[in-house]
Amino acid sequence: MKRYLPGVRMMPCVAGVALTITSTVASGAGFELPQRGIKEMGIGFAGSAALLEDASAVANNPAGLMRLQGRQVSGGVTLIRSGFDYDVSVQRELIDGTGGTVPGRESGSISALSVAPHVYYSQRLSENAAIGFGIYAPFGSTTSYPEEWAGRYHATDTDITTVNFNPAFAWRVSDTVSMGLGVVIQRFEGDFRNTIDLGYLVADQVIEELENNNLASLREGRQNLVDRMAHQFDVDNTMIVDSWGYGFNFGVLWEPNERSRVGFNYASAVRQVADGDAKRPQAEDPAFQQELEDAIAATQIWGIGFLPSTIGALQPASATEGAERAVGPLGAQGGKVQLITTMPEVATLSGYHQLFDSLAITGGVTWTNWSRLDELRFTYPDSSDRGGSDITGSGDDVRRRDLVVPFEWEDTFRYGVGAIFTGIDNWALRAGFSYDESPVPNPERRTARGPDSDRMIYALGAGWQWRENLSIDVGYTYTHFASSRINNRENPAGSQHRMEGSYSGGLHNIGVQANYLF
């Protein structure tokens, strides 16, 4: 059990089915991972649906499989180094007339080194047909904070991972047009962690009981009770869920001549119905419940500023009932949970043009339908009366124990340009720049689980034709996040702590990929 005394007072682990993929704050807006091929990474993901020079075409535009000969395998890995600074304060807002700041570290940094691998296979079947298969991560995000940070009731650790298993088929429609279609089998895993301020919630209920009996009349007594109960009975909340979902991707490639091509790629939304467990170990600990019961029974001593001397402490039966309620189904008890969410559609339009014999330019725009992601809401499939209140203001019955993170995100666009120089024998040099919009509409919808903001992506890359059938590509991007404000009220348990402050930071990505032609 964690205790946080006034004035005082993560480990991400996400596993895919065939590979492990983690990232600290996603490389693309929201929690998109755009690095599905290292060549595309070298041009800042600008022109990804038209470049199509290796088997990563499966993910970037399956129609591009018609550009590849024989059988090819492309495998790579990207290392992601993140560094973000936060400067926040967290206030208590649940109980009217009582304030107070959540104790803990209000400023600091979060950083991590993460890995995102991918592998693809392509094969020409005939002059007019080809197939391919890919395993890659289209979305993923991890944030991990130190235990003592002030925003622990908002989030401590968050891991979101999706892995696509993507068979694809391409065919030539005419001399200049090819099309491709793929099936997406998507694995989703989520690990959401925070701390529940159970002592603060209990103080709210005690004050309500006292007010119902006309016993809590002095504000200083209420504040005294809150100060003594809040942050003293914290419950660790871990919600882990997983599921499988299904979708498709579709691509078109138009090559009007040998020097120019235009590509379009569409990846469908994938609905995920993820089941799992909410684990709250303190709620199952008899010693924890006894301490809570004793604290409730001692209300007279703690609230001596407002309890009349003729009134004794709460009766033991009332204290027992209160403690049982706090750790039971109406309180912090864990159990089976379900998260229903949707990974959004992504559409990309790209162009490629061979400007000179040794210089090509690329460009493109990517649209992501983030407005699909209205909220993350965990529900309890059992039929018990969980109680709770309308935390989000939406008019729905938001149960106090539920983890509800309102997003209300907006659709985004990423714009980019790139260049490729091939004037050195066996080498290709790449550079690019992209501007990536954030889906977060305002500070009220920015969360500690993913403090996203607009990004600028600077990219460099190189390719080396080592042998006739083997080439190596490397890429590097630096992603700069615009400084952003946060003004968010958390709802992992309805305790209504408000975080205000700012975030800033960036990402360093470096990737390597080998391409082998059979």
pLDDT given for residue 21 in this prediction:
38
pLDDT given for residue 13 in this prediction:
30
343-360 per-position pLDDT tens digit: 999 999 999 999 999 999
d(CA 319, CA 206): 10
CA angle 110, 278, 30 (to 5 degrees): 40
Average pLDDT in the 95-113 region?
A: 87
pLDDT given for residue 401 in this prediction:
53
449-488 per-position pLDDT tens digit: 888 899 999 999 999 999 999 999 999 999 999 999 999 8
Structure tokens at 253: 């490639």
Lowest mean pLDDT among 14-18, 258-262, 442-446, 491-495: 14-18
Task: Give the Å distances, CA to CA, from 182 to 29, 35, 254.
Answer: 24, 19, 18
pLDDT reading at 25 higher than 90: no
Q: Strand runs (DSSP E) across 39-70, as ranges? A: none
Q: Could you tell me what percent of the chain has a pLDDT over 90?
A: 60
d(CA 48, CA 460): 15
Average pLDDT in the 6-14 region?
A: 27
Confidence band of 296 (pLDDT split at 50, 70, 90): confident
Query: Residue written as tokens 């950083």?
Result: 111
Q: 32 versus 390: which is more confidently predicted?
A: 32
pLDDT given for residue 215 in this prediction:
59
Q: Could you tell me what percent of the chain has a pLDDT over 70?
A: 84
Average pLDDT in the 61-85 region?
A: 94
pLDDT given for residue 213 in this prediction:
67
Structure tokens at 145: 């904070």
Find all residues with CB under 8 Å of 479, minimum gap 6, and list them.
27, 436, 455, 456, 457, 458, 506, 507, 509
State CA 442 to chain mean position distance.
Answer: 17
Confidence band of 134 (pLDDT split at 50, 70, 90): very high
Q: 4 versus 214: which is more confidently predicted?
A: 214
Confidence band of 399 (pLDDT split at 50, 70, 90): very low
pLDDT given for residue 321 in this prediction:
83
**Closest to 249 measured CA to CA, from 359, 332, 330, 138:** 138
Q: 296 versus 43: which is more confidently predicted?
A: 43
List of long-range contacts for 397-401, beta carbons under 8 Å, 24+ apart: 398/491, 398/494, 400/201, 400/330, 400/331, 400/493, 400/494, 401/330, 401/331, 401/332, 401/333, 401/493, 401/494
pLDDT given for residue 369 in this prediction:
96
Lowest mean pLDDT among 20-29, 99-108, 247-256, 429-438: 20-29
Q: To which H or E segment does residue 463 belong?
A: strand 455-467
Average pLDDT in the 267-278 region?
A: 95
447-456 per-position pLDDT tens digit: 888 888 999 9
pLDDT reading at 304 higher than 60: no
Dihedral sign, Cα of residue 54, residue 58, residue 63, residue 69: positive
pLDDT reading at 325 higher than 90: no
Confidence band of 402 (pLDDT split at 50, 70, 90): low
Average pLDDT in the 491-499 region?
A: 75
Architecture of domain 38-517: Beta Barrel (2.40)
pLDDT reading at 151 higher than 60: yes
pLDDT reading at 380 higher than 90: no
Pairing of strands 140-144, 412-421: unpaired
pLDDT given for residue 192 in this prediction:
92
Lowest mean pLDDT among 13-27, 296-310, 375-389, 447-461: 13-27
Mean pLDDT of the chain: 85
Half-sphere exposure (CA, 13 Å, Cβ side) for 150? 23
pLDDT reading at 217 higher than 90: no
pLDDT reading at 492 higher than 80: no
**Residue type, position 479, single letter:** T
Query: Is the pTM of the predicted complex or chain greater than 0.95?
Result: no
Average pLDDT in the 211-238 region?
A: 78
* Domain definitions of the chain by residue range: 38-517
When mean pLDDT is compared over 165-174, 207-216, 389-398, the highest value belongs to 165-174
Q: 161 versus 298: which is more confidently predicted?
A: 161
Average pLDDT in the 249-264 region?
A: 97
pLDDT given for residue 378 in this prediction:
85
pLDDT given for residue 422 in this prediction:
96
pLDDT reading at 306 higher than 90: no
